[in-house]
Amino acid sequence: MTDTTVDVVSTSATTADASPIVLAQTDMLRLKFLPTLVDNGKEPEKSVSGKLLYEKKRKGDVCFPTDCQDSTEKISRGSVKVCDWMEFQMSTSETYALFEGLQCLYALHDDIGKIPYGTATYARVDGAFQQFLSIIQNDPAAARMIGNEENYDLVKTLLRLITQTSSLESLKKSLSELQDDNLQHLTTSLNIEKLHRVAMLMKDNLDNNSEEFWQTTVFKENQWVLAQLFACPCTIFADKAYVGGKNINNGCGNLCDFIYQNSLSQNVALIEIKTPCTEIIGSQYRGTYSFSYELSGAVSQVLNYRDKLTKEYYALCHQGTQSFEVMTPKCVVIIGKMSGMNSGQIAAFENFRNSLNNILVITFDELYQRIIDLITILSENAEQEREPSSQNGNEEYPF
């Protein structure tokens, strides 16, 4: 048991061992209480049992006997013979440490209600925090208070406290008790923070020429980013997916970077990803511009993926365990940056990609801008929700 956490390990359906309470410890002596949480059906208020452990070690020993599993003799209440007696003298600091530890364990058992299965770590919070959590659970106006910049340090401390547990049962219970308004404010704030972090990751790497970084670190770990390209609910169906094309020698297979799937229609879309450093514009040609070898190749590549997938759809469906549909799949190419182009190059690029049939070509900085726009929309909505409103002469002001 530490100042901030308590570890609990279930030993049966009704008992669980909790972190030891160290009452006193020197280089050679240690006194601690080994608590057990108990679902006591007959007397539910009596929910903690345990044992005192007093042990000695030699000055040169690295660990105490119970830590090294080399204890030569165990003395317990059962070892006491008739007419013998055993005494444990405890100082005021030791009894106070035991009192504090037991108080914490009784409160923990009352809070969780029943013995958790497996291993869990619970954060210890003081009464002021408990009171604060109760307020924001029941008062929407107080929940809006956390959106004030002056309270950001308090919010960070709050989130650290309620998420520093390997078992999130306490957090889930707290969230389930939040009123809709409170939960909406919290969800919006968390979504905006997540968008900010991904936007910063993209901005800081717009000169990163590693396809592996963009495919794995950015898009695979944050698949919702690519979902912004579609007007329907989509999620990753597969990455580095085989879409057909192998010859009789098992060669020439085609691997698409990402396949996204409409979660309602089951239809798929094919996404080919280059890097922000990939050239888009070629040389000047009769008052306009040609396009780079990489852009032409990426468009041809994704079209080839679509062709092979369409032709081998039934064979691939039969081989796989997940169902999908191929109904004129949309093709997407993410490539290069528009920043740095002059007006003539931008016009040529726009004319080219807008003439493509069912193929979306988008640049990395355009995708980054979509996330920034989404942050702006969510932030404006959150700000509107925090604005004071009046109804029937009663005014409500944010904290």
Chain segment 148-190, per-residue pLDDT in tens: 555 556 566 556 655 554 444 555 555 555 556 655 666 677 6
Distance CA 123, CA 195 (A): 28
Do residues 244 and 254 lie in contact, with contact meaning Cβ atoms separated by under 8 Å?
yes
Contacts 24+ apart (CB under 8 A), 194-203: 195/371, 195/374, 195/375, 195/378, 196/375, 198/222, 198/225, 198/371, 199/368, 199/371, 199/372, 199/375, 202/364, 202/367, 202/368, 202/371, 203/368
Angle formed by the axes of helices 127-138 and 152-163, nearest 10°: 100
Q: Which two tokens stand for residue 263?
A: 């979660």
Chain segment 196-220, per-residue pLDDT in tens: 888 899 999 999 999 889 988 888 8
pTM of the entire predicted model: 0.48
Confidence of residue 250 (pLDDT cuts 50, 70, 90): very low
The tally of CA atoms less than 13 A away on the side-chain side of residue 103 is 9
From the list 272, 271, 269, the residue with the least C-alpha distance to 327 is: 269
Q: Which residues make Cβ contacts (< 8 Å) with residue 25, sequence separation at least 6? A: 31, 32
Do residues 322 and 237 lie in contact, with contact meaning Cβ atoms separated by under 8 Å?
yes
CA angle 19, 110, 116 (to 5 degrees): 55
Chain segment 286-316, per-residue pLDDT in tens: 889 999 999 999 999 888 888 888 777 666 6
Chain segment 221-230, per-residue pLDDT in tens: 887 777 777 6
Q: Which two tokens stand for residue 52?
A: 């005192």
CA-CA-CA-CA dihedral for 180, 185, 190, 194, to nearest 10? 110
